[in-house]
Structure 1
């Protein structure tokens, strides 16, 4: 029998979760009752259609970042207080975000609590995050996150079980009062799922027939390290040298676990220096990916388009189930739209946030989707999936190489020959002053409302359309407004400016530029060179330097 304690508390300002949950500095979560308040609000907000918290089964996992151990104990105490029936917890509390989505779906759980700030750095002076996933395995919709926020604003007392410290380092089931806690290996179920999607024998045969083909996977000291080692070393029989940084660390080894050319520079340099054929990285919680090859960087926009193009030929899952539709986030390049048109399937442009894809998938209208922010996935789960994308690329390489030798760059160029090339880049200005960033965006919104931008020509680019992206969800009828300023030119080029909510402090300004070319002579051009005239237009239109004080972006992707 466990005593349930009633503890007085008071609300904290700003416990409003976004699409990716609540992200703050560790020191914020360490305030007395701060974490307890939020987790209780989260449990109380479980949709009644799913039965609410009483007798719920909750999957718990995370990326193992600093402060996770303490929060795992809080989840146990709060679950006891709310009458949760069962917690399914990853060994040492570690489960990748895509693997957690799969476990929720496989076990028919009520939902999941994920302890992650995704690609943000970890450690005592950096970030922590908590998010709730619903019974479909996907991120909580606004109806749930809004309810969590409303509860957090009025909370006055906590119901906490007086439980001993739970050991999550041993597999098996233990009972604490009326709460069952099952500790599982978070890798096994995920690898079994991947075997139902991809032809592992074909990938192994490709490696065996191409002994000179060398790859390197970078786990970035995040959650996918054990998954990557299991797949590439144990399943495919590659040498240990084919993986790096595959031990999850609470501070990610002092590195920034974001798989892009800036933060995964160790991988990029190694692939370049050793002339490796294929490189891939995943982020802190395993839902993002980066793909590179010998002198080749695959933009996430191109990556999802190429996966869609080869899906039914190279990936058994899509041979069996078909491709029912394609989708991308609004800032992502329009490369996948061209594939959808050729395949004669419907395609969607949605706001940034994986929950929008989840609605389409649950309705059977989207099979493959992606975001330019290094997120790629399919309807096998309801989260983006970094290792899924890596396995998709290995499947494509295995398929293409049956005909003739081809590397990553060859696959890119062959794609451009069919569809043309969407040159695309994103400039991130991190931790800028939030108010001045808002002022910058509001100035553009004002110009759009007054129709001051239409037909304006800057450096040869004439504006055809300008708006603040608004999305009507075709499944649930919800409307999402102010999702990013879009400026579209008469030649089809686009500039998009939006503020990101994935940081823990300040604001991140994201500037996206895209230019389409069907001139084969341009397909091998360097991206930044090809886009420079358009980037200059974007900086002039936005007056970004004036508002942010930044001459250079923090990250270019």
Structure 2
């Protein structure tokens, strides 16, 4: 029996360069390995969250469900002939393959000596919806090309009150802007925001998917989403146009999101906390209550405070959506998020950028349900500031030092671990840098024991925890194709309502200085400034 015997697999992605070629190769290899059916989104386009939904929800013409998916994406990294390409594998639950599976795949790559491929199979027209059948090695082999958006739109309509969102989006007082950064979110934006919810098509930016993302960097942050940032009044260049009330952006495969108000940026850490705080009232899917909430370790503790206030189960997990998936499969988590612009819920097993936008629009619709005819609507900024007044503010920033020398990056991390052996020495160094920073009371490398399967994940990031609730976190990231990326996370919690309106950079400046000098960032990496600040 061949390894794929009888299976149904999904193959699609964010449309980046080489995706269409890769789809044809995977189809031929699947046929040769006895796979029964391949499902392909029209033109090879399916967002990562939509693929998770397809695995979980879609039923084929023969009654089959998908056994897994190959997702052709390199997430928020650039695409093109000289840029990044990637392949993810997702399991039957719709979530990323766990480490046990990916480790086994990697080990197999070291010993593989041959592979099967049906070279005589003609290319399939993936631009036309329909089923193409072939004679496979174990019987009929089908390629089912289906509409990329219909399953996902149906799911979103089952979660949110589209009628209330439509009232908001068609209100003359409310303006809206969505930037797909030429990623796969563009395949959904017109269907959802324009056709279903009544937004004007002019509110969509860069919503035609392109193989090279229009030459841009499809990462939804203040650095790379330049056009949206300018339109929302957040760039240094002054505009005479009035910014929209609400703006959002997606990354290449549409699982990440950025939320903006008029001249106002919502941090991802605040975003997931605000969604959790308002979900039961504003989103029908959660009307029965939340099972629990979770965040990744580097994400600010804003969600922790909401969980404590609402008496919700709370989990702090390593970076990686599979950890959330375990909690969701066990019925322990409803809403979760990462500071790296990923937010989601248990409707699928991936982060979901459009879901996050619809969640925010639902909250705005709920807050404005009685005053759509008023002169001034409750704004994104109003909602965030009210949240701070209720729960306190977590001043937060992330510094990314991208493509640094891998050797220097490892030396920096080893230096930080070594320092943790003596907190007295650490505090002495800190006081020599800034006397106005409180003492470190705990320092460690974050380790997580999964409450569902008991697995242990070590070396997940280096933490310095301060007496006043401040935190410094250092992590190495390997999502790029060159060098290493050091991520520095800086957080300070402020409960005093008279101090929650301070400028974020001003509030965090002492801790940022401590972090740079304590880590010897410039000495180890040669970098005097980060590549990206979020």
The TM-score bracket by the shorter chain reads over 0.9
Deviation of 1:275 after TM superposition, in Å, equals 1.9
Equivalence for 1:174? 132
The TM-score, its normalising length taken from structure 2, stands at: 0.93
Equivalence for 1:363? 330
Alignment partner of 1:516 is 2:454? no
In the alignment, the residues of structure 2 paired with residue 237 and residue 74 of structure 1 have an alpha-carbon distance, to the nearest angstrom, of 40
Deviation of 1:81 after TM superposition, in Å, equals 2.1
- Contact 1:454–1:466 (Cα < 8 Å) also in 2: no
Alignment partner of 1:413 is 2:385? yes
Alpha carbons of structure 1 residues 474 and 482: separation in structure 2 relative to 1, 3 Å: same
Equivalence for 2:420? 448
Over aligned residue pairs, what C-alpha RMSD do you find? 1.4
Larger mean CA deviation between 489-498 and 452-461 belongs to 452-461
Deviation of 1:226 after TM superposition, in Å, equals 2.1
Alignment partner of 1:131 is 2:82? no
Alignment partner of 1:302 is 2:270? yes
Equivalence for 2:470? 493
Aligned pairs (5 A) from 1:286-325: 286-320=254-288, 322-325=289-292
Alignment partner of 1:267 is 2:224? no
Equivalence for 1:539? 516
- Contact 2:245–2:380 (Cα < 8 Å) also in 1: yes
- Contact 2:246–2:262 (Cα < 8 Å) also in 1: yes
Residue segments in structure 1 that go unaligned for 5+ positions in a row: 1-42, 45-51
Deviation of 1:177 after TM superposition, in Å, equals 2.1
In the alignment, the residues of structure 2 paired with residue 554 and residue 183 of structure 1 have an alpha-carbon distance, to the nearest angstrom, of 41
Aligned pairs (5 A) from 1:59-98: 59-98=10-49
Equivalence for 1:19? none
Deviation of 1:452 after TM superposition, in Å, equals 6.0
Deviation of 1:254 after TM superposition, in Å, equals 0.2
Alpha carbons of structure 1 residues 513 and 168: separation in structure 2 relative to 1, 3 Å: same
Question: What secondary structure is seen at the aligned counterpart in 2 of 1:349?
Answer: strand
Deviation of 1:345 after TM superposition, in Å, equals 1.1
Equivalence for 2:339? 372
Equivalence for 2:369? 402
Question: Which string of whole-angstrom CA distances, capped at 9 and with x for unpartnered residues, describes residues 125-166 of structure 1?
Answer: 100000100000000000100110011000101111121122
Question: What secondary structure is seen at the aligned counterpart in 1 of 2:116?
Answer: strand
In the alignment, the residues of structure 2 paired with residue 530 and residue 241 of structure 1 have an alpha-carbon distance, to the nearest angstrom, of 38
Larger mean CA deviation between 296-305 and 230-239 belongs to 230-239
Question: What secondary structure is seen at the aligned counterpart in 2 of 1:160?
Answer: coil
Question: What secondary structure is seen at the aligned counterpart in 1 of 2:108?
Answer: helix
Question: Which string of whole-angstrom CA distances, capped at 9 and with x for unpartnered residues, describes residues 100-146 of structure 1?
Answer: 00000113311000000010000011000001000000000001001
Equivalence for 2:162? 200
Equivalence for 2:298? 331
Aligned pairs (5 A) from 1:82-231: 82-107=33-58, 108-162=65-119, 163-178=121-136, 179-208=141-170, 210-231=171-192
Alignment partner of 1:57 is 2:8? yes
In the alignment, the residues of structure 2 paired with residue 426 and residue 135 of structure 1 have an alpha-carbon distance, to the nearest angstrom, of 34
Residue segments in structure 2 that go unaligned for 5+ positions in a row: 59-64, 234-238, 372-376
Equivalence for 2:404? 432
Question: What secondary structure is seen at the aligned counterpart in 1 of 2:115?
Answer: strand
In the alignment, the residues of structure 2 paired with residue 249 and residue 454 of structure 1 have an alpha-carbon distance, to the nearest angstrom, of 49
- Contact 2:169–2:176 (Cα < 8 Å) also in 1: no
In the alignment, the residues of structure 2 paired with residue 474 and residue 373 of structure 1 have an alpha-carbon distance, to the nearest angstrom, of 24
Question: What secondary structure is seen at the aligned counterpart in 1 of 2:347?
Answer: coil
Question: What secondary structure is seen at the aligned counterpart in 1 of 2:11?
Answer: strand
Equivalence for 1:38? none
- Contact 1:453–1:463 (Cα < 8 Å) also in 2: no
**For this pair of structures, how many residues does the alignment match?**
506
Deviation of 1:448 after TM superposition, in Å, equals 2.0
- Contact 2:18–2:85 (Cα < 8 Å) also in 1: yes
